[in-house]
Structure 1
Amino acid sequence: MKLLIVNHSCTVSVAQQFYAEIERQTGWEITIVVPENWKDEYGIQRKVQRWKDFRGDLISIPVWKSGSIPLHSYRSLFVNLLRELNPDFIYLHQEPYALVTLQVYLANYFTIRKPISFFTWQNIFKRYPIPFRQMERWVLQNTDVMFPGSYSAEAVMREKGYSGRSVLMPSGIDPAIYYPRSNTLKSELGTTDHEVLIGYVGRVVEQKGLKTLLCALNEIRSLPWRLAVVGTGEFDAEFDEIAQQLNLSDRIQKLGFVPFTETPNYLSAFDILVLPSETRANWKEQFGRVIIEAMACGTPVIGSDSGEIPHLINSTKGGLVFPEGDAIALSQRLGELIQNPELRSNYAETGKQSVLNNYTNSLLAQRFAETVKNTVEFDPRSQRSGVQSFPTP
């Protein structure tokens, strides 16, 4: 079996790990196409690197609109590449309305016409302007199977008219990277034995609910806690200003950007991870990958009810949920866990086991490979009239 993957995220080597796991399980030939000149969210151009365990071909092609996920396109028609590779299955890790999705779909349609698929996090119904609306509709009509990252993303595609096969493909973790670690980070962060270390990992932007977090911490200032913030973003200055106004600065440590290889050390050091995301008109939390990463590291989680967060926490039973934007409710959840180490321990163990049972790269790679195999063996274009729901993890 030969697979062609088109995924701009694979400019970061760790994103190739999932496909390396598919190789390991199946022995298939996998080719990944990535942008040669991709800029990350901070405007820094990434150097394409190979994941140590990925054996397949890694092809880098220059793109127009580097850094724009929906608008970038490759400086290639893909026609010659598809004819040369002649893959059995094509997977776009890209939304159906994106230019690159249409680009590869059209190349496939006018050449080899092999089974083709896309991935989506789109969890808010949006009616895009012309021509993106027509592009998305055509892609949905010519898709053999889709891989939504969440239940709400699947529902949006159904509402937009997709009636084909759909297989849930959420984020996953590698247990060899994300696991509970014994380290001295907690004390290095200035946390004493009787203090509870609360952690936040992610972009420091307004929609992540960090103002609500500060207000909640102000409500429980009499309790023994410290906060560590891993990440950076446009809300940094305002965050610092609010913390100073509330006289909380001396209990907060800003750590800035931390490489993903070091993140598990911090997640293991935290007594509680908090993800207080807040829905906006054009955004709500698509998944909350840091939730399963923290749980895998043995850390309980408190999250808002934005997007997929409540489903993730409730299904894993690895923490508590509060109404987004409600600082009082968040302070109550924090207080509950700060004052009850046994409850923290119970959530930590339950969440860790649930993640290991449902959200590992190995399990998800097996699900992906089985879907690909079935799609190739049984032409779904003759079965599109019957809507098939994805399996529950």
Structure 2
Amino acid sequence: MHVLITVVGKRTEHWTDLFDVLCEQPDVTLTVLAADVSPVTRRELARLTGRHRRLRYHVVPHLLGESLTGHMASVLFRLPGHHDVTNARPDILHVIGEAAYLTTWQALRLRQRCWAGVPTTLYAAQNVVTRFPVPFPRIERQSYLSVDHAFPITPEALKVLRVKGYRGPATIVPLGVDTRVFRPLTTDAAMRPFTVGFVGRFEPHKGVADLLRAAELIDCDVSLVGDGSLNGEIERAAARRPGRVHRHGWAGHAELPLLLNRMDVLAMPSVEVVQRNTLPWIGIPLREQFGRVLVEAMACGVPVVGSDVGEIPHVVGDAGLVFPAGDVPALAARLARLRDDPSLAGRLANQGLRRADAEFDWRRIAGTLCATWRGLQSPTRPFRTPPAEAGHSTREAIS
């Protein structure tokens, strides 16, 4: 089964774990078409091709891009008319990108032009019903008519798909973690102060400032992994509390599991904001769609604390504590509770380990994806006629 996957955006490193696991399936040959990805993603893709003979990847140039517009929906593949990716017909086309993305439109156009009839599946993470400016609504509608199966990452993402008009089959498939890499490690926990950690972008909507204030209230150490516009605020906090605020740059798989294991709790104190970097007169609510680092921490046996924004409570489940977003005293109280009650921290850590293995292990997720893809290859499956070219009317036909 030859699967072609398209993926774009700077924060795509975690998808390489899924690609790795998919290539371990004995009947899967994988081609990855990527654009506007990070250097870390490029390195990981190159490393994987050294491990798997049945993996090929193409990082192609792009037009526009996330760094210019602030949104991945604007990325465009710059794919020549004759390219290696078009030569081999895939059995499945899987698009990692929302229905309204320009690259999703390009992938579906490529299928229509080069591989008519190839079953297509779509990742979906939107947990807010967002009305995009022209031409994105038309692209979104055409995508919903063309896709044979959707993979929303949460129940809320499935609800948004239905509200926005997708009527096809769907299976909830969460983001995952490689539990062979992210696992409990022996560390010197007894020799260090209680440490709360954060992994992600140092941006206002991630609640980094709230975390720094909460840590100061209970006088605990902070370990921050990532980068962003709040670097200055973090440096000022470190100056106020010498030796208590520790900052690390972006960490790959070789380093992140160890950094997580050196935390006593991982916090995701996100707040909801309105994003206006696409068009200034259009506000797009921005709330956490998943919180992948939560499951990475769970897999390492680290209890988690998260705000009640977006999908964080759904992902945390019974493996951590939730607090009202923006409520610094409440966040401090949750952290202090885990510091002062080792039995509670241990119980949440064990529940997180079970949750990571049962629900979020990439191997389980890959099995679900492959089972769906094999079913779509069945000669008896309904055929969905692809929509007409942009500018023409579209109708869904099932015969």
TM-score range, shorter chain: 0.7 to 0.9
Deviations 1:16-49 (A, max 9, x none): 33233223234222222223xx353xx9995562
Change (3 A) 1:11 1:264: closer
Question: Displacement, 1:4?
Answer: 1.4
Q: Write the letter of the residue equivalent to 1:15.
A: W
Pair 1:229-2:224 in alignment? yes
Sequence identity of aligned pairs in percent? Answer: 29
Corresponding residue of 2:61: 63
Corresponding residue of 2:326: 325
| Alignment check: 8 A CA contact 1:61 1:75 kept | no
Corresponding residue of 1:19: 19
Q: Write the letter of the residue equivalent to 1:325.
A: G
Pair 1:253-2:246 in alignment? yes
Change (3 A) 1:61 1:301: closer
Matches within 5 A, 1:370-385: 370-377=371-378, 378-381=380-383
Question: Displacement, 1:236?
Answer: 1.2
Question: Displacement, 1:217?
Answer: 2.4
Unaligned runs of 5+ in 2: 67-71, 275-284, 386-394
Corresponding residue of 1:182: 186
Change (3 A) 1:84 1:173: same
Q: Secondary structure at the match of 1:32?
A: strand
Deviations 1:180-214 (A, max 9, x none): 11134x68xxxx45x31211111111111112112
Pair 1:115-2:119 in alignment? yes
Structure 1 length as normaliser, TM-score? 0.85
Give the aligned length: 368
Question: Mean alpha-carbon deviation: is it higher for 62-71 or for 264-273?
Answer: 62-71
Matches within 5 A, 1:79-118: 84-111=87-114, 112-118=116-122
Pair 1:148-2:152 in alignment? yes
Corresponding residue of 2:34: 34
Q: Secondary structure at the match of 2:123?
A: strand
Corresponding residue of 1:127: 131
Question: Displacement, 1:50?
Answer: 3.6
Distance in 2 of aligned mates of 1:59 and 1:334? 43
Corresponding residue of 2:335: 334
Change (3 A) 1:119 1:351: same
Distance in 1 of aligned mates of 2:41 and 2:19? 23
Structure 2 length as normaliser, TM-score? 0.84
| Alignment check: 8 A CA contact 2:92 2:118 kept | yes
Distance in 2 of aligned mates of 1:251 and 1:61? 41
Matches within 5 A, 1:236-385: 236-241=231-236, 247-281=240-274, 282-314=285-317, 317-377=318-378, 378-381=380-383
Question: Mean alpha-carbon deviation: is it higher for 25-34 or for 274-283?
Answer: 25-34
Corresponding residue of 1:209: 207
| Alignment check: 8 A CA contact 2:146 2:384 kept | no
Change (3 A) 1:237 1:123: same
Unaligned runs of 5+ in 1: 386-393
Change (3 A) 1:44 1:376: closer
Distance in 2 of aligned mates of 1:257 and 1:59? 23
Distance in 2 of aligned mates of 1:249 and 1:166? 51
Question: Mean alpha-carbon deviation: is it higher for 256-265 or for 296-305?
Answer: 256-265
Q: Secondary structure at the match of 2:228?
A: coil
Distance in 2 of aligned mates of 1:116 and 1:12? 20
| Alignment check: 8 A CA contact 2:93 2:121 kept | yes
Question: Displacement, 1:129?
Answer: 0.9
Deviations 1:294-348 (A, max 9, x none): 111111011111111101112xx11100011011111111111110111111110
Give the CA RMSD over aligned residues.
Answer: 2.8
2:46 to 37, 46, 49: 49
Change (3 A) 1:158 1:353: same
Distance in 1 of aligned mates of 2:301 and 2:41? 34
Distance in 2 of aligned mates of 1:79 and 1:169? 34
Corresponding residue of 2:277: none
Q: Secondary structure at the match of 1:24?
A: coil
Distance in 2 of aligned mates of 1:77 and 1:160? 33
Q: Secondary structure at the match of 2:73?
A: coil
Corresponding residue of 1:389: none
| Alignment check: 8 A CA contact 1:79 1:108 kept | no
